[in-house]
Amino acid sequence: MVRRLVLGCGRAGETVVGVVSTWGGALRAVVRDETRLDDVADVTRGDPADPTTYPDEADVVLVLGDDADHNLEIARRAREAFPEALLVASGGWGGTETVDALSAVADRVVDARQLVVDRFLGAVTGEGAERVRRLSTVLRDIDGRLAVVMHDNPDPDAIASALALAAIARTVGVEADACYFGDISHQENRALVNLLELDLRNVERSEEIAEYAGVALVDHSRPGVNDGLDPTTEVDVVIDHHPPRAPVEARYVDLRSDVGATSTLLAEYLDRLGETPDRAVATALLYGIRVDTRDFTREVVDADFEAAAFLLPYVDESVLERVEEPNMSPDVLSTLSAAIRNRRIHGDVLTTGVGRIRDRDALAQAADKLLDMEGISITVVHGFMDGTIYVSGRTRGTDVDLGEVLRDALGSIGSAGGHADMAGAQISLGILGAVEEESSEPLASIVDDVIAGRLLEILENPPSAPRRDPTAADITLEFPFSGE
């Protein structure tokens, strides 16, 4: 077990100790004044330069006071007491001579002045700094309240991104609301909102957005596409990690499909602005990254890990644990039961139709569960409600790009897309909706034949094969797709 000793602790040191406390081992601190370390370390009140306050043994000694001259004195005493320990000391705001003297005693000296210089240069130079400057300029120009709009029935990535962008807007004096159309029906998403007591606005009519002076879109990029906005709505800001399927128009656009989550982008903005996210925003952002990257196993890049590392010190881990173990609703259980009962298996592909649904998120949960079946590497679950067919697919352990497969199979009759191993589609029932008035069974059977037939045809032929003639289908496009 590693024994760590903290001697002195300034404001920055408190953050360092908070991170170190998560590494395990024994952690003891000697501080002269009151600090916030009592919850994470065994604290002794006294002079950090007094060896009588030290424990008998220490493997790592951290000298973290703000006063460089006092740190030098502490470091010298600590070196005498623990000659074999790794000694790391902060140079505080001392001059060059003091920092040089510390370097002769400590194994590593953290130069606060240089860190500030590096941070400043990082904030004012490079592509990232230019993004921050342009975003801030657009936000400052909004004369009134900003609506930060998520896609319909928002997932954790959209919820967290909206909260973070609203927080960023407030740093430049612009009040903002995180807004969404539809429902938050997935039980994990509801748990996230409830446990963090998130302040979100559920918008019922697009006209309600007219009261805002500005509009921003997060986790999707076009008004009227998987949100309740009028397609002609003028947009000020767009931040999204999904590749656009049509031109995106806004005063400021940040579309980066080379990261795993939109939450990663918002965490980067907070970091570059030097803003400390509050507990709710940090927890939501980390959860958003974890969900969209499937706990850092799907389409994850260095930026996602860096964002998580930035957020971790501010996260409420107890909330994350409770969010990931919510109760399953009756609608989800019913959908899962129907999905199992109606499944069709074609080699390693499972397709299933559950008929009429009340909770579209239940389809995604059923697709996840069915992927655990032995011998199955692709699952596609579909159901219909309010005149629209919803499709959710998952894949694991295969070279198939499911997003491309669904686009090839269903793009000509609806809208489809997503990631390589997590995708979905939305299709209008069109004239098939008339069947619903007579009996749901024939309609469910017809829908099942259309979805399964098109999917299997594309899987048997490469996505580069000629697509079906869009006029050959009785199902018509309702609206483009941006969710999963």
Residue at 345 is within a domain: yes
Q: What is the mean pLDDT of residues 2-26?
A: 77
Check if the beta carbon of residue 188 is closer than 8 Å to that of residue 328. Answer: no
Residue at 230 is within a domain: yes
Instruction: Output DSSP code: residue 433.
Output: G
Task: Answer yes or no: do 315 and 335 share one domain.
Answer: no
Residue at 265 is within a domain: yes
Task: Answer yes or no: do 335 and 304 share one domain.
Answer: no
Is pLDDT of 431 > 60?
no
Q: CA gyration radius for the chain?
A: 27
Task: Answer yes or no: do 7 and 95 share one domain.
Answer: yes
Q: Token pair 């909330």 is at which residue?
A: 319
d(CA 234, CA 182): 21
Last residue of a domain, one of 293, 323, 353: 323
Residue at 182 is within a domain: yes
Q: Token pair 């921050």 is at which residue?
A: 132
Question: pTM for this structure?
Answer: 0.59
Task: Answer yes or no: do 240 and 284 share one domain.
Answer: yes
CA distances from 452 to 219, 239, 366, 369, 468 (A): 29, 34, 16, 19, 15
37-51, 255-269, 274-288, 378-392: segment of lowest average pLDDT: 37-51
Is pLDDT of 468 > 60?
no
Task: Answer yes or no: do 195 and 271 share one domain.
Answer: yes
Q: Which residues fall within 8 angstroms of residue 165, CB to CB, at 6 or more apart? A: 148, 176, 178, 216, 218, 237, 239, 266, 269
Residue at 484 is within a domain: no
Task: Answer yes or no: do 351 and 440 share one domain.
Answer: yes
Task: Answer yes or no: do 286 and 153 share one domain.
Answer: yes
Tell me the pLDDT tens digit for each residue of 365-415: 899 889 888 889 999 999 988 888 999 999 887 778 888 888 888 888 888
Residue at 480 is within a domain: no
Is pLDDT of 436 > 60?
no
Tell me the CATH number at 26. 3.40.50.720
Tell me the CATH number at 180. 3.90.1640.10
Task: Answer yes or no: do 334 and 428 share one domain.
Answer: yes
Q: Three-state DSSP class for 76?
A: helix
Tell me the CATH number at 436. 3.10.310.30
Task: Answer yes or no: do 217 and 277 share one domain.
Answer: yes
141-155, 204-218, 231-245, 466-480: segment of lowest average pLDDT: 466-480
Q: Which domain holds residue 165?
A: 126-323
Instruction: Output DSSP code: residue 172.
Output: T
Task: Answer yes or no: do 171 and 70 share one domain.
Answer: no
Task: Answer yes or no: do 78 and 196 share one domain.
Answer: no
Question: Predicted confidence band at 125 (pLDDT cuts at 50, 70, 90)?
Answer: low
Last residue of a domain, one of 286, 306, 323: 323
Edge-first strand listing for the sheet containing 26-31: 42-45, 26-31, 3-9, 60-64, 86-90, 108-110
Tokens of 230: 């009028």
CA distances from 135 to 138, 222, 260, 298, 455 (A): 5, 18, 21, 29, 41
Last residue of a domain, one of 323, 345, 377: 323
Q: What is the pLDDT of residue 142?
A: 96
Number of domains in the chain: 3
Task: Answer yes or no: do 315 and 360 share one domain.
Answer: no
Residue at 478 is within a domain: no
d(CA 160, CA 148): 11
Check if the beta carbon of residue 150 is closer than 8 Å to that of residue 179. Answer: yes
Question: Predicted confidence band at 328 (pLDDT cuts at 50, 70, 90)?
Answer: low
Tell me the pLDDT tens digit for each residue of 152-205: 888 899 999 999 999 999 999 999 999 999 888 777 888 899 999 999 999 999
Residue at 483 is within a domain: no
